Structure 1
Amino acid sequence: MTPRLPGSHDARDLIVPQLSGAIEGTGDNVWIEVIQKMDEVYTDLVDSQTALEEQNARLEEAQDFIGSVLGAMTDVLVACDTDGRIQQVNPALEAIVGKRERTLIGRPIAELFQEKSQAVVTGFLQTLRSGEGIEQRDVSLAASDSQNALISTICTARRDHRGRLVGMVLVGRPVGELKRAYRDLDAAQAKLTRTQQQLFVSEKMAALGRLVAGVAHELNNPISFVFGNMYALKRYGSAITRYLTASDENKSPEEMKELRKDLKIDQVLRDIGPLVDGTLEGAERVRDIVQELRRFSSNQQEQPEEFNAVRLIHTAADWVIKAQRVKPEVLLDLPDTLEMTGRKGQLHQILVNLVQNAADVLDGRPDGQILLSGARQGEDIVIKVADNGTGISDAHRDKIFEPFFTTKPIGTGTGLGLYISYNMAAKQGGSLSVENRPAGGAEFILRIPADVRTES
C-alpha cells in the first residue's frame, strides 16, 4: 500500500472518479495502466518530499554550525557584495560598533569605519577587481570603545562557483588585543629564557658536584708539590743563613770550607733554582685549575680567548676519570697542540659532559675504554669522544639531545648534559652529533669553528 501524506487526500481520490466515466467501456487494461502510472507519480512525489526535508535539515544544521563559528570568533568579520553593501557581520563586530546585524544589512561597508579609514576600505574592492593582493592594514572602526576601534585587517575576495568576484570578506583583530597577546608572549618567552638559564646553572652545578673528587685530586698534586718544595727551600734557607753568619764572624778559610761541606751549600746552590721553578710551576697549575673551575661554574657571559684545545681535553678527561670508582682506560689520539679562539669555559663544559656520559655508560665495566681524538679540519676543530659500550638504540637516537631525556636510573642523571652541550655547540657556530661505532659503542662528534669571535 502506498503511504499517504498526513492530512492530505490521495491523488487517486480526486482523479479516479473523473476518469472512470471517460474511460468507461475502454477496457480494464487501460484502467489498470492509469492506476499504475498514478502510483508511480505519487511515489516519486513522496520521495522528492522526503529528500527535500532531509536537505532542509542538513541546511539548517550547516547554518547553525556557521552561526556558532561566527559567534565564537573574537575577530571581527564583515562580508559584502561587489557594490560594498553589507551582507553579513558577526557578533564580535556588533559588540564593537554597538549595532545589530539586521540594521547593518544592505548598508555601505564604509559606514562601519571612521572617516579617515573609509577610503582605505572602499579601495579594497577596487584592488580585488584588478586581481592584486591586499596587504594587512590597520583601520579604525566607528566604535564607542576607542580601545577596540583600531583593528588590524585582512581582506580577501569572495567568488562564486564559476570563479567570478561576488564580494569580499574583511576580517580584523583589535590592535589592543594584539598588543596584549604580544606582551603575554614576551613575558612567556622571558620566563622560558630564565628557566633555561636556571636549568643550565643547575646542570653545571650538578656536573661540578660529580667532579669534586677528580678536581680535588688535580689540586692535591700541585699543592703537595709546592709544600714539599717550600719545606726544602726552608731547610736550604736555614743552611745559607748559618753559612753567611759564620762568614760574618771572620771564620778561617778552613773552618768555612768545613762548614760549607757540612751544610751542603754546593748542593743547595744547585737545587735552589729548580726548586723555585718547580714551586712556581705548581702554583701556576693551581691557579689554572682554579681559573678553570671559576670559568666552568660561572654564569657570566664569556668572551672568546686563545687557548690550546688539547690541554683542555686532557683537563676534562682528568677531572672526570679520577672521580670514577672503576676507572675506564683513556686512549688519546691527539696532536701536540690545537690552537683555537673561542669560549674556553663552554668548550670545557661540553667536553666534561661528553666524557662523563661515556664514563657513565661504562660504569662498573673492567674493560671500559674511552677514546679521545681531535684534529683540525679546514676552519673547524673536530673532537671525538668514543666508548666501547652498548651504543645507542634506534629508539633513542632521535631523543638523545632532548631535555630531560636519560636512560639512567631515577636520581642518577638530570637528562640535561647532552642537551646543554648540543645548544652550547650550536651557539658557537658548531654542531654536536652521535653515531654508533661498527665495533660497538657510541661516538660523539663535536665540531667547533677554530676562530669564534662573535657574541652568542
Structure 2
Amino acid sequence: MPPRRRIDTQPPAPPQGMDDAAWVDVIQKMDEVYSQLVTDEIELEKKNAELEQSQQFIFSVLSAMSDVLVVCDAQGLIEETNAALCELVGRTDQQLRGTSLYDLLADEASVAAARAVMGNRSPTRRGDSIELNLRGTGGDSVPVDANCTPRFAASQRRVGTVLVARPTAEIRRAYQELRTAHEALKRTQQQLLHSEKMASLGRLVAGVAHELNNPISFVLGNVHALSRYSERLRDYLHAVHEGLTPAELQALRTKLRVPHILDDLPSLLEGTIEGAQRTADIVNGLKRFSAVDTETRQEVDLNKVVDRSVLWVSKGAPRDLQLNWQPGEPHLVRGNAGQLQQVVMNLLENALDAIAERPGQTPQLSIAIDAMPSHYLLRVDDNGPGIPEVNLSRIFDPFFTTKPVGKGTGLGLSISYGIVEQHGGVLLASNRLEGGARFEVRLPASELSRVGTPPNGEIFR
C-alpha cells in the first residue's frame, strides 16, 4: 500500500491585490480537494484488499481441484495451471508456464485430437470432450477425459482454451470392479433362482411320480398284451408254413383267437403311443422347469401355464379342496415359460400353505385371468387367514418368511417378484374384504394377442 502523501493545509501568504473573500474561497476548495483525495485513497485500499481476497480465493480453488486444469493461449502455450496438473506431470507451475500443451501429451493421437479441438474456428460455448493421454511423472501414459472450452475476448475473438481433465484410470478400474461384482451378483441370483426351483420341484416329486405312474402303467400293460399276442401270432404263422389243412388252420385260428388279436391291435398301439406321449410331455415339462433359465423369450399362453401348474400342485393338495379355475381363450405374453410357471406354482403353493393354517373349514382356491387393453391380470385368491398388515410391506423381501424353520426359504415370493419385474410386469399382494389373501400378476400382452393368435394355437406345450 503506498504511503499517504502529506498535504500542507497552511495557506500561503495572500498574494498582492487579493481580498479576504477570495482567499476564503481558495481555502474551501483546497479542503474539498483534500477530502476527496482521502476518500479516494480509502476506496483504493478497500479495492486492493478485495482484489487480494479474490486472488487468494481463486488460488485456493485451483489448489483444491482434483481435476487437471490447463489454460492456454491461441497458440497452445500454457498460461495457467493448478496443483493437480503439477503433481500429475511432476513439474512446477513456473516450469510449465510458457511451454506448449502438446509437450504434455504422451502420443501422436492425443496431439492430433488436441490440435483439432483447439484449431476449431467455430467452437461452441460448451466446448468439446476428448480423450487424451498425458505424460505422467515417470513417463508413463495417464488417460484423461478432457473438456476443452474456448476463451473469448471482449471482441468475441478466440484468445485461448481452458482444458479441464479428469484421470480415468481409477474410474475404469472402479467400473471394472463394479462390472465384476454385477456379474457375480447375476450368477448368485441365477443360483438362488435355480435352488428355489429345485426346492419347489422337490415338493412336487410325489405328485409328479403319481402323474407319471398312470401313463407308464398303461404302456406296460399294453406291451405285455402285445407280447402275448405276438406269441400267438408266431404259433399261427408257424402252422401256416408247416402246410396244415384249412380245417386245421381254422381250428387253430379259433383256439388262438387270432381275429380278436387283429381287432385289438390298433387300439393297443394307439393307447401305447398316447401313454408314451403323455410321459414324454411330463418329462419335457420337468426338464423345462428344472433347467437353468436362459434369456430366451417366446410367446407364452398364460392358460397353459396355469393348467400345468394346477396339475402339478393339485397332487399334494387336500382332497376336499374347492378349486375354481376355468381356462379361456389364449392369453399370450412375451416371456420365459419356465420362469412364469415357477411364479404361478409359488403363488399356488403359498395359497395352499395359508389355507392349511385354518383347519376345520373347506379350503377354497380361485384362479382367474382378466384381459385388459394392454395387459393381462392373473389373480390367485384363497380363503386362508390373510396377510398381517405389518407383513404386507415385507412379503417380497428376500429371506422373509412366516413359516417355521425348515418349512420355507423365504425366497419364493422374492424370486417371483423379480421374474415378473423382468417380464415388464408387477406382482402385488393384498387382503380380500371377504377374507383371505389375493395375489395379482400383471403382465403386458404380446403383440400377437393384439393382432390375433397363431393358427396352430400351440404356444406353450
How high is the TM-score relative to the length of structure 2? 0.63
1:385–1:443 CA contact under 8 A, matched in 2: yes
Residue 421 (structure 1) aligns with: 416
Which of 424, 431, 437 is the equivalent residue of 2:432? 437
What is the one-letter code of the residue matched to 1:97? V
Residue 93 (structure 1) aligns with: 85
- Distance between the aligned counterparts of 2:113 and 2:305, measured in 1? 65
Structure 1 residues 333-389: Cα deviation after superposition (integer angstroms, max 9, x where no partner)? 222755777543333223222222322333354433222223554565543322222
Residue 322 (structure 1) aligns with: 315
Residue 64 (structure 2) aligns with: 70
Describe the SS at the equivalent of 2:416.
Answer: helix
- Residues 216 and 137 from structure 1, CA distance in 2 versus in 1: closer, same or farther, beyond 3 angstroms? same
Residue 391 (structure 1) aligns with: 386
- Distance between the aligned counterparts of 2:319 and 2:357, measured in 1? 6
Describe the SS at the equivalent of 1:322.
Answer: helix
1:383–1:445 CA contact under 8 A, matched in 2: yes
Residue 35 (structure 1) aligns with: none
- Residues 264 and 118 from structure 1, CA distance in 2 versus in 1: closer, same or farther, beyond 3 angstroms? closer
Structure 1 residues 391-435: Cα deviation after superposition (integer angstroms, max 9, x where no partner)? 334444444444434333343333333333333334444443334
Residue 33 (structure 1) aligns with: none
- Residues 371 and 424 from structure 1, CA distance in 2 versus in 1: closer, same or farther, beyond 3 angstroms? same
Residue 225 (structure 2) aligns with: 232
Q: How much does 1:319 deviate?
A: 1.6
Structure 1 residues 165-196: Cα deviation after superposition (integer angstroms, max 9, x where no partner)? xxx99753213333323322322222222222
Q: How much does 1:285 deviate?
A: 0.5
1:85–1:109 CA contact under 8 A, matched in 2: no
RMSD: 4.7
- Residues 294 and 112 from structure 1, CA distance in 2 versus in 1: closer, same or farther, beyond 3 angstroms? same
Residue 53 (structure 1) aligns with: none
What is the one-letter code of the residue matched to 1:295? R
* Paired residues for 1:71-150 under 5 Å: 73=66, 75-76=67-68, 86=80, 89-90=82-83, 92-100=84-92, 103=94, 113-114=104-105, 132-139=125-132, 141=134, 143-147=136-140, 149-150=142-143
1:155–1:169 CA contact under 8 A, matched in 2: yes
Describe the SS at the equivalent of 2:179.
Answer: helix
- Distance between the aligned counterparts of 1:327 and 1:199, measured in 2? 34
- Residues 97 and 396 from structure 1, CA distance in 2 versus in 1: closer, same or farther, beyond 3 angstroms? same
Residue 404 (structure 2) aligns with: 409
Residue 287 (structure 1) aligns with: 280
- Residues 256 and 346 from structure 1, CA distance in 2 versus in 1: closer, same or farther, beyond 3 angstroms? same
What is the one-letter code of the residue matched to 1:273? P
Residue 173 (structure 1) aligns with: 166
1:110–1:122 CA contact under 8 A, matched in 2: no
- Distance between the aligned counterparts of 1:445 and 1:283, measured in 2? 35
* Paired residues for 1:251-400 under 5 Å: 252=247, 256=251, 260=254, 267-299=260-292, 301=294, 303=296, 309-324=302-317, 328-335=321-328, 343-366=336-359, 367-374=362-369, 376-378=371-373, 380-400=375-395
- Residues 282 and 446 from structure 1, CA distance in 2 versus in 1: closer, same or farther, beyond 3 angstroms? farther
- Residues 170 and 370 from structure 1, CA distance in 2 versus in 1: closer, same or farther, beyond 3 angstroms? farther
Structure 1 residues 114-149: Cα deviation after superposition (integer angstroms, max 9, x where no partner)? 57788799899x98xx9x334544455564344454
Bigger shift: residues 214-223 or 414-423: 414-423
Describe the SS at the equivalent of 1:288.
Answer: helix
2:358–2:385 CA contact under 8 A, matched in 1: no
- Residues 142 and 250 from structure 1, CA distance in 2 versus in 1: closer, same or farther, beyond 3 angstroms? closer
Residue 193 (structure 1) aligns with: 186
- Residues 238 and 140 from structure 1, CA distance in 2 versus in 1: closer, same or farther, beyond 3 angstroms? closer
- Distance between the aligned counterparts of 1:146 and 1:190, measured in 2? 35
- Residues 417 and 104 from structure 1, CA distance in 2 versus in 1: closer, same or farther, beyond 3 angstroms? farther
- Distance between the aligned counterparts of 2:357 and 2:407, measured in 1? 15
2:333–2:444 CA contact under 8 A, matched in 1: no
- Residues 147 and 84 from structure 1, CA distance in 2 versus in 1: closer, same or farther, beyond 3 angstroms? closer
Describe the SS at the equivalent of 1:94.
Answer: helix
1:326–1:365 CA contact under 8 A, matched in 2: no
1:205–1:297 CA contact under 8 A, matched in 2: yes
Bigger shift: residues 201-210 or 266-275: 266-275
Structure 1 residues 36-78: Cα deviation after superposition (integer angstroms, max 9, x where no partner)? xxxxxxxxxxxxxxxxxxxxxxx9xxx9xx89x939x5x4467
Which of 130, 143, 152 is the equivalent residue of 2:145? 152
Describe the SS at the equivalent of 2:408.
Answer: coil
- Distance between the aligned counterparts of 1:136 and 1:406, measured in 2? 52
Matched, 1:447 2:443: yes
- Distance between the aligned counterparts of 2:114 and 2:259, measured in 1? 105
Which of 216, 226, 250 is the equivalent residue of 1:223? 216
Q: Which runs of 5+ in 2 are unaligned?
A: 1-52, 106-110, 151-160, 450-461
Residue 36 (structure 1) aligns with: none
Q: Which runs of 5+ in 1 are unaligned?
A: 1-58, 158-167
What is the one-letter code of the residue matched to 1:369? Q
- Distance between the aligned counterparts of 2:95 and 2:189, measured in 1? 52
Describe the SS at the equivalent of 1:384.
Answer: strand
Matched, 1:208 2:201: yes
Q: How much does 1:288 deviate?
A: 0.4
What is the one-letter code of the residue matched to 2:209? A
How high is the TM-score relative to the length of structure 1? 0.64
- Residues 400 and 134 from structure 1, CA distance in 2 versus in 1: closer, same or farther, beyond 3 angstroms? farther
Q: How much does 1:199 deviate?
A: 2.1
